Amino acid sequence: MCPLCSGDSIEVFSAKGFPVHDCISCGHRFANFDVNREKLREIYSDEYFVGGGAGYSDYLTDCELLRMRGKYYAHLLNNFMSKGTLLDVGAAAGCILLGFRDEGWKGVGVEINPGMAKYGRENFGLEIKTGFFEELDFDSNFNLITMIQVVAHFRNPLGAFNKAHELLVDKGFLLIETWNFKSLTARIFGRHWHEYSPPSVLHWFSPETLERSLFKVGFRMIAKGRPIKKISGRHAKSLLKYRLGEKAHPLIKWIPDRITFRYSAKDLFWALFQKQ
């Protein structure tokens, strides 16, 4: 059953032994199995942030790149809203949040991994709550909620979207960055596309399916686009090795860890929604 519309679904292929389904009614693509709370904590353990594979090769080493992404989105949002209060969902240690803070935002983060949240509090002076976003309480509402590379990981996306609607001020904004499973890149690679990585990745959106989902809970899309994203050589090598195994060795042995380059594939998008 589709987690977004409760419609019937069909299996289209399996990824790493997990069934991947398409909803017949709304077109949403999802991994058709349940991940409980304990499994989520296991998936997003410290290994996720340093072990490579479907996670980060070394989150803290790449912190400056992530901080730049925060600044990038802060500048982008100047076209649509004034600076204010921000809640960053899936904040890790808060590197993206740092970029927003640099640009004048007052931010709070939410992170499931207690070690990452603690690091951000103790080393960056950030307020980062530990726990599941849908279950946490906050003292005030926010002008902006960001979900950058997060929505694909939710057990219950609609529950998270409803929570975001509840926590935003009237006419507040929700910024989402995620991968487009209907992009040309994803279609060329098929089941070997790098984002078909369950059990950490559970959902695959397109701009159209994301817009329909958020419209149901009271959001209107006001803008979308493809972000400027830079990745380290270390991260690129980790992704190639994860997808290609030993076949990746001839490709990655010449890539320096510290090199930085722009991610040029067109399978990533951002979308900005406003609470109605």
Domain 37-180+226-275 matching CATH 3.40.50.300: the answer reads no
pLDDT of residue 234: 65
pLDDT value at residue 36? 84
CA–CA distance, 90 with 112 (Å, rounded to integer): 7
Mean pLDDT of the chain: 90
pLDDT at 34: 83
Domain positions in the chain are 37-180+226-275
For 225-235, write each residue's pLDDT tens digit.
999 877 776 66
- The model carries a pTM of 0.90
Pairing mode of beta strands 268-275, 219-225: antiparallel
Q: Report the alpha-carbon distance of residue 104 to residue 167 in Å, rounded.
A: 21
Q: Which residues of the chain register pLDDT less than 70?
A: 51-57, 233-256, 258, 264
Residues 6+ apart with CB under 8 A from 164: 89, 145, 147, 174
- pLDDT (0 to 100) of residue 158: 96
Structure confidence at residue 241 (pLDDT): 60
Q: Contact 160/135 with Cβ under 8 angstroms?
A: no
Token pair of 50, please? 């340093």
> What are the two backbone dihedrals, phi and then psi, of residue 173, each rounded to the nearest 5 degrees?
-120, 150
